[in-house]
Structure 1
Amino acid sequence: MLLVSTNYAPEQAGIGPYATQLAEHLAAARHSEVHVLAGMPHYPAWRVDPAWAGRWRAVEERAGVLVHRRRHTVPLRQTAARRALYEATILAHGLLAPPRMARPDAVLAQMPSLAGGVLAARLARRHGVPFLPVVQDLMGAAAAQSGISGGGRAAGGAAAAERRVLRAATLVGIIHESFRARVEALGVPPERVRLVPNWAHVPVPSPDPAARRATRARLGWDTGRPVLLHSGNMGLKQGLDVLVETARVAPDLRVVLMGDGSRRDHLAALAAAVPNAELLPPAAESDFPAVLAAADILVVTQRAAVLDMSVPSKLTSYFTAGRPVIASVAPTGGTADEVRRSGGGLLVTPEDPVRLAAAARELAADPDRADTLGARGAAYARTHLSRAAGLRRITDALDEALALAAPVREALGPATRRGAPA
């Protein structure tokens, strides 16, 4: 198998953990030789990991998976032009130096990386094998609403590229039903779309109250203020200014932003004069579940202008942590749907610090309700977001794609089976 995913371990946020766990599952459970074509580790900081700085190409084995890395530009500040250069360098280096491997049986891709999708589609066509992209987000829609300079101009080109990639697929996986209409509008027939939801990719934290108290004390969160925690990427899409403003209007709350991203310096400057707003670096992978569980409330935010189709990867981790969630997002879309379906949190108007603070105070004043919401989220993660179920949905789609392609390859004859273009 070949998986094309710009993001991969050791990245701990965003798409990277899903790509990593999928590849390792295929290698172990399916006894497959699995190769991954990936970029240099850089997310969510949008800076190349120092361990990989200056390297053009690398091959490493991680948990039985051969990872082929290719260098690309990494724009610290996001503009449409810089994002286009990022994608272009991923595409160019992938085309110039594809993985050195035997002909794969199938090619998978994690999108929204347009370059990754194009590379995967070309490699699948070159070898005459099934192609299965998994849509985690769509760049066309994201570019139009990103708020970055030139985003509107980039949207048309991104949508056209997505249309070509998805129409070339044997089957198309989507992580949430909110993507279905947009994918079908790009020209994918409804019968070729499969739902393959993401899963909770972090361990369940310790249920021991003493462990939670110890983590809070270590982090300095034992001051009596309720702790609101946002963990993850600090980009434009998240609209995290609202959390600094929430801290400003509610000095009785402690607002913590943990992570990295293109807006971290901007947020640090905003928070400098707000004593109850705190920025933390990303937690270590082993400490991450405990930090989430130590908070009183977990928060997910998005800008009001964002058409929320995707489900942030942080949401599955939030539910697993067993703490109540406040989602400051549009009332329609993937995030709001998941919060309602889980029963694990509250929805508030996006970019409204007063309402966000009121919801936090409401939960802080009623710990029984907060615990109930947290328990519902944890139960939802156990029953609907298990890793085994999520991986099974993708491997079922992969097996279906292989079965669909088998008669075609047999009809085309032995030349195609050896890897000639279909």
Structure 2
Amino acid sequence: MYATQIAEHWAAGGAEVHVLTGMPHYPAWRLDPAYAGVRRAEEERGGVRVHRRAHTVPARQTPLGRVRFELSLLRGGLGASPGIERPDAVFAQLPTPAAGVIGARLAQRYGVPYVPVVRNLLGAGGGRGRAWSALAGAVERYALRRAALVGVVHESIVAEVAAMGVPADRIRLIPNWSHLPGASRPREEMRARLGWRPGQTVALYSGAMGAEQDLDVLIRMARLDPGLRVVLMGAGERREELRALAGGLPNLDFPPTPQDAEYPDVLAAADALLLTQRAALGGTAVPPELPAYLAAGRPIVAAVPPLGATAQELHRSGAALLVPPEDAGALLAAIHSLAADPPRTATLSSAGPAYTTTHLTREAALTRVDALLAEALTFPPPARPTIPPMPTAPPRPPT
């Protein structure tokens, strides 16, 4: 989402923009059927030339499956990079370590500045096993140390990036932003359309359904209070597993994510918006849906690590109640407290849009991105790799 908007923003400004990427598969972690059997694809989207390369799509995000996924991205990106004229700079987006390596290698090949933007670091306690975290961390260090500048989406990531050998004076803050308009339909009208009963408290989670999100706690919460309607909206590798775990709870729904035009109205129709993260992950990643949550004008209830990036952002916004991660009872108590205290609910609801307008506008963020690119272009380009001559065979001794 963010990479697409950056690329289209540059294209709209008159730049020639090429994007090297994989086949559509996220967040469901299933290959789009339209791309089945396709090895390469060239597309024009929003003025951007998109170069797609085939890769594996693991059905489950096991450490081995993730390694195979990353290796297949490397094979496609480095072995079949687009044949284009020398660019002015190469950008990459992490948390996909392969993207960092591909970006660094292409920048070196062309002799131009390389700028990764870090949205999360999988090597920083990624929660998928020590071996995978160590491998991901080594690859991320390789990619980040070769950067002219490094963008990060939250200041909590700065220390992690610096620990990988990036000088602090080469790290720039590029926060996520809200890219959707505010709600346009009356709440009661939208609730009726969604089938939510008048007077019923609705708690909604919207986002990826993967291993990093502790969505099991929301199922446990739904069991604690049959009168509460819990909505898990989105896609991801664990969606069907979570549906099976729920066992047909009548107060638990699994709708798909609506189109962008309707998405803000759905968020605004809920009584509380939910965020959950596993305690073991440390909360280094800021969920990409957070700006949309804040813009929706509803209170947020977050079960996240108290010292993580998400907790810091929510504290600053003043739009959320924070409870310990993985605690269904604490989540439920926070939601009930909102229902019992309309003035507090109104205060939290108004804080989110105000914070978004002040700190998370698309215009402000893209201005920072432009400044990042402009500064990177002032750096001397990396030395192009030299290819040593092939050794000649020694002369054969006379016979």
Q: TM-score, normalised by structure 1?
A: 0.89
Show CA shifts across 1:249-272 (max 9, x none): 122211100011111112101222
Which whole-Å CA distance do the structure 2 matches of 1:340 and 1:227 have between them? Answer: 23
Q: Which residue of 2 aligns with 1:391?
A: 366
Which whole-Å CA distance do the structure 2 matches of 1:161 and 1:96 have between them? Answer: 18
Show CA shifts across 1:17-40 (max 9, x none): 1000000001112x1000001111
Structure 1 consecutive aligned stretches of length 4 or more whose deviation exceeds 2 Å:
none
Question: Are 1:90 and 2:90 counterparts?
Answer: no
Q: Which residue of 2 aligns with 1:13?
A: none
Q: Does the 8 Å CA contact 1:271/1:278 hold for their aligned counterparts?
A: no
Show CA shifts across 1:379-419 (max 9, x none): 101110000111111111111010122xx68xx8xxx7xx9
Which whole-Å CA distance do the structure 2 matches of 1:367 and 1:74 have between them? Answer: 46
Q: Which residue of 1 aligns with 2:335?
A: 360
Q: Which residue of 1 aligns with 2:43?
A: 60
Q: Which residue of 2 aligns with 1:403?
A: 378
Q: Which residue of 2 aligns with 1:295?
A: 270
Question: Are 1:44 and 2:19 counterparts?
Answer: no
Question: Are 1:369 and 2:305 counterparts?
Answer: no
Shift of 1:420: 8.6
Partner residue of 1:317 out of 274, 277, 292:
292
Show CA shifts across 1:297-322 (max 9, x none): 10000111111111101111100111
Q: Which residue of 2 aligns with 1:134?
A: 117
More helix by share: 1
Partner residue of 1:164 out of 123, 139, 142:
142
Mark the runs of 5 or more structure 1 residues left unpaired by the alignment.
Answer: 1-16
Q: Does the 8 Å CA contact 2:124/2:160 hold for their aligned counterparts?
A: no
Question: Are 1:269 and 2:244 counterparts?
Answer: yes
Mark the runs of 5 or more structure 2 residues left unpaired by the alignment.
Answer: 388-399
Shift of 1:295: 0.8
Which whole-Å CA distance do the structure 2 matches of 1:192 and 1:390 have between them? Answer: 18
Aligned residues: percent identity?
A: 54
Which whole-Å CA distance do the structure 2 matches of 1:288 and 1:41 have between them? Answer: 21
Which whole-Å CA distance do the structure 2 matches of 1:24 and 1:279 have between them? Answer: 32
Partner residue of 1:241 out of 209, 213, 216:
216
Which whole-Å CA distance do the structure 1 matches of 2:386 and 2:261 have between them? Answer: 45
Show CA shifts across 1:191-242 (max 9, x none): 1111111111222211x53xx2222111111242210000010111101000
Shift of 1:142: 4.5
SS in structure 1 at match of 2:280: coil
Show CA shifts across 1:334-389 (max 9, x none): 10001100001110011101110000011112223212211101110111000011
2:6 counterpart letter in structure 1: L
SS in structure 1 at match of 2:87: coil
Q: Which residue of 1 aligns with 2:201?
A: 226
Q: Which residue of 1 aligns with 2:357?
A: 382
Which whole-Å CA distance do the structure 2 matches of 1:336 and 1:181 have between them? Answer: 17
Shift of 1:152: 1.3
Partner residue of 1:174 out of 152, 168, 175:
152
The 1:247–1:311 alpha-carbon spacing in structure 2 relative to 1, beyond 3 Å, is: same
Q: Which residue of 2 aligns with 1:333?
A: 308
Partner residue of 2:162 out of 174, 184, 190:
184
Range with greater deviation from structure 2 (58-67 or 94-103): 94-103
Which has more radius of gyration?
A: 2
2:212 counterpart letter in structure 1: K
Q: Which residue of 1 aligns with 2:171?
A: 193
Question: Are 1:105 and 2:80 counterparts?
Answer: no
SS in structure 2 at match of 1:305: helix
Which whole-Å CA distance do the structure 2 matches of 1:218 and 1:230 have between them? Answer: 18
SS in structure 2 at match of 1:139: coil
Show CA shifts across 1:247-294 (max 9, x none): 111222111000111111121012224221111112122221111111
1:93 counterpart letter in structure 2: G
Q: Does the 8 Å CA contact 1:228/1:296 hold for their aligned counterparts?
A: yes
Aligned residues: 387
SS in structure 1 at match of 2:203: strand
Which whole-Å CA distance do the structure 1 matches of 2:342 and 2:238 have between them? Answer: 33
Question: Are 1:259 and 2:242 counterparts?
Answer: no
SS in structure 1 at match of 2:350: helix
Q: Does the 8 Å CA contact 1:229/1:258 hold for their aligned counterparts?
A: yes
Q: Does the 8 Å CA contact 2:190/2:265 hold for their aligned counterparts?
A: yes
Shift of 1:54: 1.9
1:272 counterpart letter in structure 2: G
Shift of 1:333: 1.1
Which whole-Å CA distance do the structure 2 matches of 1:333 and 1:220 have between them? Answer: 35
Q: Which residue of 2 aligns with 1:12?
A: none
Question: Are 1:24 and 2:2 counterparts?
Answer: no
Show CA shifts across 1:48-92 (max 9, x none): 112222211101111100011111111111110000000000110
Shift of 1:133: 0.2
SS in structure 2 at match of 1:298: strand
C-alpha RMSD of matched pairs (Å):
1.5
Q: TM-score, normalised by structure 2?
A: 0.94
Q: Does the 8 Å CA contact 1:127/1:420 hold for their aligned counterparts?
A: no
